[in-house]
Chain A
Amino acid sequence: MSIPHNGEWSRVHPVSPLVRGWIALAAIAFVIGRNWFEETAGFRGDNNSAPGNPLDGTALLIAAGILAGVLLILAGIFFLSWWFTRYQVTDDHVRVHSGVVFRKQRQARLDRVQAIDIVQPLLARLFGLAELRFEVADAGESAVQLAYLKLNDAQRLRALLLGRASGAGSDTGAGAVPPTGGTEAGSDDAGAEDSPGGTGTGPAGGTFVPGHLEAPEQPVLELRPGRVIAATLLSGTTLFLLFGIAVVLAITVATSEAISLAIMLPILFGTAGGYWTEFSTSFNFRASVSRDGIRLRYGLLDTRTQTVPPGRIQAVSVTQSPLWRLTGWYRVSVNVAGYGAGTTSDTQARTKLLPAGTLAEVFAVLALVLPEPGTDRPVDVFTAGITGRDGAGGFITTPRRARWIAPLAWRRNGYALTDTALLIRSGALWRVLSVVPHERTQSIALEQGPLRRRFGTTDLILHSTPGPVRPHVRKIDDGDARTLFLEQAVRARDARRRDRTGRWNSSGGAPAPGPSPHLSPEPVSKEYPHEQL
């Protein structure tokens, strides 16, 4: 089986409905099996008291007939749903038609891609199948969800989609720019190729056949199981558990009754669930980087491979919960427009760029998100943001006079600027550093309530796409806030104008947020006709 690449229609793997509907099948099998078992057992029981055996061939035959009928109907439904689900990949779009009674036709623009995930639930893994999710910026729901394809086909389809979305080799995006950069990148990292069934066409070979190489990738880091277990045990879930135990003990002591131990059960279930989610979604975590963006792999039972193309990360945060301070670990989370802000474990897992890492690993990951930190001494600035206080690293913090409304955090709260990003620091116990690249700023708000006004401080909020990162500069001086507000609007505009990550391969070079006039395939004035200053 091969993947469609020239606009022909194709279907997902025929086993897919079974893999998706296995829960329904299991439920039916369970009900029927239990009935059958109880009946036989019941008849056996009756045999002793009442003479005559009503269980004969007819009863069995009827039961078998009903079972066969149900299975046939299910098979019919499965077949229809499979038959009517078709997808197509053209140069610019991916389309999916689905639905039997209520038909649905969906089309997504390839250059609007925010991320492509390949997901393998446990059962699909057993069959060697995988689900491909094509995410656009609609916060949560996948634009295109192909379940299931053969793993190889899913990977090839991903490479094809990324290749076309990036503009590499396609004439529509880049004009007549030869894709030399792509070839260079390919030869650089030839040792790290991870190409399923590649035929050696080269990543930017102009024509895309359904077996062309995936962009070669370089491993950046991987987490060992020991780290994942320790990080899980020291996570916020443990704090929640300790808090729960303390409350229960207090109630028990106060009422001198052991009844409140019953409260422990939901707490224990909650923590067990929290531990499991944390552990299973961080297990075997590996991050690598390729021309087509950051690639993450993880999962214990269900495995997932995420690809986030350059420039799709809207904001990034480095956080540290109190217990992780003992081990010096940090978590890196990102906002990606396609992933949304759901509170489900699925969304939380997808937005983790680094589940638990040392400072060095944090920097390795940050370097992927911000290839150009925009400062001469990035380590100093970002370390100050992650762990520091006061003015170190160029941070501007909450003024001393406002320490009464932020007694713990006033030395942490603050911001720092680099040429490419705004760093926002907050939290004394739960340390948070949010980083927003200038070109990813959506809108900016200044907010001030009566209390903040009393202390001459203002909050500045950068609105980002839904996700775990909420960049919020807390309680900085009025004047600083207003200056930042106005200047940031200008900086964001200028950075946006330089941003060339939309078709990240079309100009031939590695994606760089910095100014690169010689790489621009089109003159600036084309996109901003009224801005020819």
Chain B
Amino acid sequence: MNGKTENMPSEAIDPDGLSWEHISPRYLTVRLTGWAVEAVLTVAAACLPLILRSIGAWTWVPDWLAWGLPAVVAAAYLWRGILLPRQVRAVCYAERNEDFLLRRGIFFQRTLVVPYGRMQYVDVTVGPLERAFGLCSVKLHTAAPGTNAVLPGLPAAEGARLREHLSERGETQLAGL
């Protein structure tokens, strides 16, 4: 089901002559690193009742809870980890003459079009982990807070090019509100 849905909207929604650009595959490493750190910490925290029980501090914890809690948490993280590569692959963008298209999500898909003339400003942010991999995030702001157009995991050069390009397009097509 997933393999099919991942490509489904792109076929129907693509106008002719439009090519979707994918974000850098290195972003997967960034996400996986963050995911691994988070998973280890959370699973460790979930193991706490088990440890306390085995050293005899908490005797009231039943078996199923002591083992079940870390198991459930670990399973949830494993599931997220399995999804991550496809989530990262699902993020893509396309520049058209008049607007900018953005897509993300596998289960909860979102396709967004932001006209250049509607952009108020463009943010480029770099986190420490992203910097280590030479990546950056670009965010487009319109007058509507619902726009929420974030494009993570762009190579730094591509991010800078996109920022310049978007600002330039935005200026030539500026239409107020």
Would B12 and A444 count as touching, CB distance under 8 A? no
What class of interface size applies to chain B in its complex with A? 20 to 34
A353 CB, min distance to chain B CBs, angstroms: 18
Q: Measured between alpha carbons, how far is A463 from B140 in the docked complex, in Å?
A: 13
Residue numbers in A under 8 Å from B176 (CB-CB): 112, 502
Residue numbers in A under 8 Å from B107 (CB-CB): 449-450
If A442-B143, A447-B109, A447-B110 touch, whether A493 touches B13 (CB-CB below 8 Å) is: no
Would A485 and B13 count as touching, CB distance under 8 A? yes
| A120 close to B (CB within 8 Å) | no
Complex partner residue of B149 from A337, A443, A449, CB under 8 angstroms = A443
B26 CB, min distance to chain A CBs, angstroms: 27
Residue numbers in B under 8 Å from A449 (CB-CB): 107-109
If A443-B144, A449-B107 touch, whether A489 touches B99 (CB-CB below 8 Å) is: yes
In the complex, residue of chain A having the shortest beta-carbon distance to the beta carbon of B116: A493
If A448-B109, A450-B107, A496-B175 touch, whether A464 touches B98 (CB-CB below 8 Å) is: no
Residue numbers in A under 8 Å from B99 (CB-CB): 489, 493
Q: Which residues of A contact B (CB under 8 A)?
A: 112, 114, 137, 139, 312, 314, 337, 440-450, 453, 461, 463-466, 470, 478-479, 482, 485-486, 489, 492-493, 496, 499, 502, 527-530
Complex partner residue of A444 from B108, B113, B143, CB under 8 angstroms = B113
A-B pairs with lowest CB-CB distance, top 6: A463-B144, A463-B146, A442-B144, A446-B111, A443-B114, A445-B112
Please count the residue pairs between chain A and chain B whose beta carbons lie under 8 angstroms apart in the complex: 99
B141 CB, min distance to chain A CBs, angstroms: 10
Residue numbers in B under 8 Å from A137 (CB-CB): 143, 177
Q: Measured between alpha carbons, how far is A465 from B115 in the docked complex, in Å?
A: 15
Q: Measured between alpha carbons, how far is A441 from B142 in the docked complex, in Å?
A: 10
Residue numbers in A under 8 Å from B19 (CB-CB): none
Q: Which residues of B contact A (CB under 8 A)?
A: 5, 9, 12-13, 15, 98-99, 107-115, 117-118, 142-147, 149, 172-173, 175-177
Q: Measured between alpha carbons, how far is A461 from B110 in the docked complex, in Å?
A: 10
Can you list 27 A-B contacts with CB-CB less than 8 angstroms, sorted by A residue number? A112-B176, A114-B177, A137-B143, A441-B115, A443-B113, A443-B115, A443-B118, A443-B146, A443-B149, A444-B112, A445-B111, A445-B112, A445-B146, A446-B112, A448-B108, A449-B107, A449-B108, A463-B144, A465-B143, A465-B144, A470-B146, A482-B9, A486-B13, A489-B113, A492-B115, A502-B176, A529-B172
Q: Measured between alpha carbons, how far is A202 from B113 in the docked complex, in Å?
A: 45
Would A528 and B111 count as touching, CB distance under 8 A? no
Residue numbers in A under 8 Å from B172 (CB-CB): 528-530
Residue numbers in A under 8 Å from B147 (CB-CB): 442-443, 445, 463
Q: Which of B9, B110, B117, B143 has the most CB of A within 10 A?
A: B143
Residue numbers in B under 8 Å from A470 (CB-CB): 146
Q: A137-B143, A139-B145, A465-B143 are in contact. List 6 more A-B contacts (CB 8 A).
A: A445-B146, A449-B107, A463-B146, A485-B111, A493-B115, A499-B175
Residue numbers in A under 8 Å from B118 (CB-CB): 441-443
Residue numbers in B under 8 Å from A314 (CB-CB): 177
Q: Measured between alpha carbons, how far is A114 from B111 in the docked complex, in Å?
A: 30
Would A443 and B117 count as touching, CB distance under 8 A? no
The A contact surface, by secondary structure, is mixed
Q: Measured between alpha carbons, how far is A441 from B98 in the docked complex, in Å?
A: 14
Residue numbers in A under 8 Å from B112 (CB-CB): 443-446
Would A463 and B142 count as touching, CB distance under 8 A? yes
Residue numbers in A under 8 Å from B144 (CB-CB): 442-443, 463-466
Would B142 and A442 count as touching, CB distance under 8 A? yes
In the complex, residue of chain A having the shortest beta-carbon distance to the beta carbon of B107: A450
Q: Measured between alpha carbons, how far is A466 from B146 in the docked complex, in Å?
A: 8
B114 CB, min distance to chain A CBs, angstroms: 4
Q: Measured between alpha carbons, how far is A155 from B122 in the docked complex, in Å?
A: 38
If A137-B177, A489-B99, A530-B172 touch, whether A445 touches B115 (CB-CB below 8 Å) is: no
B92 CB, min distance to chain A CBs, angstroms: 14
If A496-B175, A502-B176 touch, whether A443 touches B142 (CB-CB below 8 Å) is: yes
Residue numbers in A under 8 Å from B113 (CB-CB): 443-445, 485, 489
Would B98 and A445 count as touching, CB distance under 8 A? no
In the complex, residue of chain B having the shortest beta-carbon distance to the beta carbon of A112: B176
Q: Measured between alpha carbons, how far is A118 from B111 in the docked complex, in Å?
A: 42
Would B177 and A445 count as touching, CB distance under 8 A? no
Q: Measured between alpha carbons, how far is A499 from B176 in the docked complex, in Å?
A: 10
Residue numbers in A under 8 Å from B13 (CB-CB): 446, 482, 485-486
Residue numbers in B under 8 Å from A446 (CB-CB): 9, 13, 109-112
Q: Measured between alpha carbons, how far is A254 from B113 in the docked complex, in Å?
A: 53
Q: Measured between alpha carbons, how far is A415 from B115 in the docked complex, in Å?
A: 22
In the complex, residue of chain B having the shortest beta-carbon distance to the beta carbon of A465: B143
Would A493 and B142 count as touching, CB distance under 8 A? no
Q: Measured between alpha carbons, how far is A337 from B111 in the docked complex, in Å?
A: 25
Q: Measured between alpha carbons, how far is A450 from B115 in the docked complex, in Å?
A: 28
Complex partner residue of A489 from B115, B142, B149, CB under 8 angstroms = B115
Residue numbers in A under 8 Å from B146 (CB-CB): 443, 445, 461, 463-464, 470
A136 CB, min distance to chain B CBs, angstroms: 10
Q: Measured between alpha carbons, how far is A479 from B145 in the docked complex, in Å?
A: 27
Q: Measured between alpha carbons, how far is A453 from B5 in the docked complex, in Å?
A: 9
B39 CB, min distance to chain A CBs, angstroms: 24
Residue numbers in A under 8 Å from B173 (CB-CB): 527-528
If A465-B144, A482-B13, A485-B13 touch, whether A447 touches B177 (CB-CB below 8 Å) is: no
Q: Measured between alpha carbons, how far is A449 from B5 in the docked complex, in Å?
A: 11
Residue numbers in B under 8 Å from A441 (CB-CB): 115, 118
In the complex, residue of chain A having the shortest beta-carbon distance to the beta carbon of B114: A443
Complex partner residue of B108 from A447, A485, A492, CB under 8 angstroms = A447
Residue numbers in B under 8 Å from A464 (CB-CB): 144, 146
Q: Measured between alpha carbons, how far is A156 from B67 in the docked complex, in Å?
A: 75
B89 CB, min distance to chain A CBs, angstroms: 18
Q: Measured between alpha carbons, how far is A492 from B112 in the docked complex, in Å?
A: 14
